[in-house]
Every structure is written in C-alpha cells, then in structure tokens.
C-alpha cells in the first residue's frame, strides 16, 4: 500500500512543465479531465493523490510552475508560499475572490481569469430570473403540472417587466450586458459602482440603499470582496420594499442570506431570483417552499458555447505563459481590491 501511495503521488515522467490542480474544475465532471489538455504542459492532480495536501505540495514544490483553479478551489497564501517556482494562477471563473491576490502581487505571480467569456450568458440568466419572478413562470408551471388549473382555476397574475426601474449593483462587463438587455424592455436603469461612469447614460447612486429606494428590482453583478460581503442586508432589502425583487448572479455572500430569507417569508419584498448562495451547495430549506423564489444551481454562466470558449482561453493562457508571451486574460493586480464595476 505504501508503494502504491508513493507511485500515485509521482508526476508523469516527461519534460513538459507542470500545472497543479488542487480541486477538479466543474468542467471535468461534464467533459472529462482531458478537457484542458495541451501538448505544451501537463497536469499534476493533487486531488487524485492519497497524500495529505500539505505533504503533496511539499513533495512537488520544486516542480509546479502554474496552478489551474476554479471558484470552488481556494489558492491561499499558505499554498502559494509552498511553491517557490509558481509564476501563474489561472482560474476558470470570472470571480477571483478565491485567490489571494495580495500574495500573488507580492510574489510577482501573474493571474488570469475567464475575462468576459461568461458576461453575455450571465446577463441572459439575470434577465431570465427577473422575468420568471415577475411573471411567475416557474410557479405557474408547477401549478399546471400538479393538475391545479382544472381544480382551482386560473393562477394569480404576475407583473410586467417593461418600464420597471431596475438598479444594477456593479456595472462591469456583466452589469453592462444586463443593462443592454433591459433597455429592450424600456426599463429605467440606474446603478451603483465604485465610481461614476461618464460614458453611460444611466443614473448613478453612490449608495446602495439610495439605489434600492429608487428601484423596483435590484440585480447584483459585482465581485465578492471584503467591501461587498453582506453589502445587501436588512437596510437595503427594506429600502427595496414589499414590491421589490432582488436578483443575484454574482456571489452568494454579497447578500446576508438570513436576512433575505426572513424578508421573503414575511413578504417584505416581492421575490428573489437566486443563482448563487452563501453556503453552496447548501440552500436554506425555507426557500424551497416559497413560490416567490426562483433558483438555479450556480450555473448562470454555463452554456455549452461558453465552456468551449473557456477551454480555449485557459489553454492559450497557459501556453502563452510557458512560451513567455502575453496572457490573453490577465487580471490587474495593481488596483486591489478588485471589484467588477
């Protein structure tokens, strides 16, 4: 058994540079672990080794030159410090809160993300969730499938999206795509961001509470940072009011989930469309019985087309790094904390 464990911890024996994977990206479960294959580098899969992670890293510390990670795999300062030759961290996600960017900057380690690959798909999902909550599409679907239409009559009416006042928190690449789609519905758009954007015609609110007061719906598109953790709490939800809807396709912890659950149960807001949650994959059980909540399993960014584009981008970033060429989708490390929008 000891010999087997030792063999499993050894990297492949060839001259290709090593890319460490701490946890398998979601794409592996869909397409297989060959998804990001390239003839120019090879993967070192920590998750396949029987060794404890710390021992595995110490064993291969001199070999690892890059890391492939995803939103579910943290790249901490402790991990980075164990890898003296680490030069690049590539994440398959648009969010980068799972990487210690300060340590990467301190060590001169480059970081690459998904860029804007997911922006359009994510914006589609955000508007889809908003339409679903307002028009009660999923709830009405259940009503029909349960045979209640014939026995209990017509389902309660929903509300129109056209002409609504919609606030976007984080007018980065995703938020901008959301705004473009809402313009087609003749919505009045306003936003909150780190700073006012002179190039856009939308109303800017420097305070999220003030934004919520002036909106029928709030769509969360910002990155998760120390500053945005629980940005949406009781005060913002109360300002949104009993006719307000909140949509989150960003990161779960941006909303104080306990406060949101209570507001939804008490009907202090109209409803919510949630693709992300504070303690994924666990979802508050209270939400499961509520017809004013529409949920998806953190897949707003995922389509067949976007994942194929991701595959190409990830591979090309690594190949560029190992060829001493510019990265395709570098993450700026000179403006921390990094906030989308």
Angle between helices 173-183 and 119-135 in degrees, nearest 10? 50
The strand pairing partners of 247, in sequence order, are 219, 273
251 is catalytic: yes
Range 216-228 burial, b when 16+ CB lie within 10 A, else e:
bbbbbbbbbbeeb
Cα–Cα distance between 202 and 182 in angstroms, integer?
12
For residue 10, give every residue at least 6 positions away whose Cβ sits within 8 Å of its Cβ, in sequence order, or none.
none
Catalytic residue among 251, 259, 270, 278: 251
Cα–Cα distance between 330 and 324 in angstroms, integer?
14
Cα–Cα distance between 263 and 120 in angstroms, integer?
30
Catalytic residue among 103, 210, 268, 280: 280
Q: Which has the closest alpha carbon to 237: 256, 265, 221?
A: 256
How far from chain centre, in Å, is Cα 273?
15
210 is catalytic: no
Strand (E) positions, the chain? 18-21, 42-45, 64-69, 88-91, 110-112, 165-169, 188-192, 203-204, 217-220, 245-248, 271-274, 293-295
Catalytic residue among 177, 257, 278, 298: 298
280 is catalytic: yes
Give catalytic residues, as residue numbers.
Answer: 251, 280, 298
């Amino acid at each position: 058994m000891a010999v087997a464990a030792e063999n499993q911890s050894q990297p492949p024996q060839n001259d290709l540079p090593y890319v460490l994977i701490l946890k398998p990206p979601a794409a592996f479960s869909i397409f297989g672990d060959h998804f990001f294959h390239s003839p120019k580098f090879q993967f070192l899969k920590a998750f396949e080794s029987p060794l404890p992670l710390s021992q595995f890293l110490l064993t291969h510390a001199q070999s690892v030159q890059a890391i492939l990670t995803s939103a579910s795999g943290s790249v901490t300062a402790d991990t980075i410090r164990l890898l003296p030759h680490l030069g690049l961290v590539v994440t398959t996600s648009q969010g980068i809160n799972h990487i210690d960017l300060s340590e990467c900057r301190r060590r001169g380690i480059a970081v690459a993300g998904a860029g804007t690959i997911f922006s359009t798909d994510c914006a589609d999902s955000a508007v889809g969730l908003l339409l679903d909550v307002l028009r009660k599409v999923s709830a009405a679907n259940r009503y029909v499938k349960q045979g209640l239409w014939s026995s209990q009559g017509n389902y309660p009416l929903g509300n129109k999206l056209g002409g609504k006042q919609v606030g976007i928190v984080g007018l980065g690449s995703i938020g901008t795509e959301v705004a473009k789609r809402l313009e087609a519905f003749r919505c009045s758009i306003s936003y909150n961001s780190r700073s006012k954007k002179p190039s856009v015609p939308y109303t800017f609110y420097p305070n999220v509470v003030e934004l919520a007061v002036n909106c029928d719906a709030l769509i969360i598109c910002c990155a998760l940072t120390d500053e945005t953790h629980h940005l949406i709490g009781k005060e913002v939800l109360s300002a949104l009011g009993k006719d307000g809807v909140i949509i989150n396709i960003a990161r779960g912890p941006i909303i104080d989930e306990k406060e949101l659950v209570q507001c939804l149960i008490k009907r202090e807001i109209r409803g919510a469309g949630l693709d992300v949650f504070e303690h994924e994959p666990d979802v508050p059980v209270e939400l499961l019985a509520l017809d004013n909540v529409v949920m998806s399993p953190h897949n707003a960014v995922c389509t067949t087309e976007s994942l194929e584009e991701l595959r190409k981008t990830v591979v090309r970033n690594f190949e560029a790094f190992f060829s001493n060429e510019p990265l395709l989708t570098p993450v700026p490390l000179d403006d921390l904390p990094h906030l989308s929008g």
